Structure formats: structure tokens, C-alpha cells
């Protein structure tokens, strides 16, 4: 069975930066699309960023220009670099992976999920 484990969360001042990492085991990492989600207390889970097998990326409007997602297939790792952090970014951040059948396809369902890591941005 596949597993994802996040690290790098913590407390940071508004305007600061934080880098989240997610390491995968137990599945064919390079054939999966990857995503970062976040969920703040009392709010629905939000899709933050995605990266597919062709290294195409997407971002939510709220983080575009501030966050960057990247993957390293040799290390089975996906990272989320977060800059210019705002208090509104405070949430539990989770990584997720879903199979992509071919190079040009999109993820239809995220099948593996990490446990989440807390990011708190103080004002």
C-alpha cells in the first residue's frame, strides 16, 4: 500500500516563507499526479496546487504568484515552496497522489493521502 508523509510545517510570521515536503513510498511515484490541499478550521478542503507527469502545474487563485510546486521523481518527493505568507494561509496542508493513465491525462481521483502538517501564519 502507498503512503505519503509530509514535513516542514510550523509557525511563521506574515510575509515569511516555508517549504513543505512530501515523501512517497509503496507505489510507482513517477506515474502519479500530485497535489497539495489545505483545510482551515470550519472551512472546506481546498485544492492549492497540482503537478502532473509532464510537470504541468496549476494553482488556486489565492496562492498564485506566491506558491510553487515541484516534484523529484528520483527522491519520490513533492515540495511546496510558500512565499509571502498571509494569515489566511493558516491551515493543515496535505499532499495527495492519484494515478495518471498516460502522459497527457489528468488525475481523476486522488487515492493516497498524507496525514497533514500544520502551517500557522501569525499577523
Give the per-residue pLDDT at 106.
85
Give the per-residue pLDDT at 91.
98
pLDDT digits (tens, 9 = 90+) for 15-64: 999 999 999 999 999 999 999 999 999 999 999 999 999 999 999 999 99
Query: pLDDT category, 79, cuts 50, 70, 90?
Result: very high
Give the per-residue pLDDT at 16.
98
pLDDT digits (tens, 9 = 90+) for 89-113: 999 999 999 999 888 888 889 999 9
Dihedral in degrees, nearest 10, Cα atoms 74, 82, 54, 50: 110
Beta carbons within 10 angstroms of residue 75's beta carbon? 12
Amino acid at each position: 500500500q502507498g503512503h505519503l508523509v509530509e514535513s516542514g510545517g510550523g509557525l511563521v510570521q506574515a510575509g515569511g516563507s516555508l517549504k513543505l515536503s512530501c515523501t512517497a513510498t509503496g507505489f510507482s511515484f513517477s506515474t502519479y499526479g500530485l497535489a497539495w490541499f489545505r483545510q482551515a478550521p470550519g472551512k472546506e478542503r481546498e485544492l492549492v496546487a497540482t503537478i502532473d507527469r509532464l510537470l504541468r502545474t496549476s494553482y488556486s487563485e489565492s496562492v498564485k504568484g506566491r506558491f510553487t510546486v515541484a516534484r523529484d521523481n528520483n527522491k519520490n518527493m513533492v515540495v511546496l515552496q510558500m512565499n509571502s505568507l498571509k494569515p489566511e494561509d493558516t491551515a493543515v496542508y496535505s499532499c495527495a497522489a492519484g494515478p495518471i493513465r498516460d502522459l497527457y491525462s489528468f488525475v481523476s481521483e486522488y487515492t493516497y493521502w498524507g496525514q497533514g502538517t500544520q502551517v500557522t501564519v501569525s499577523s
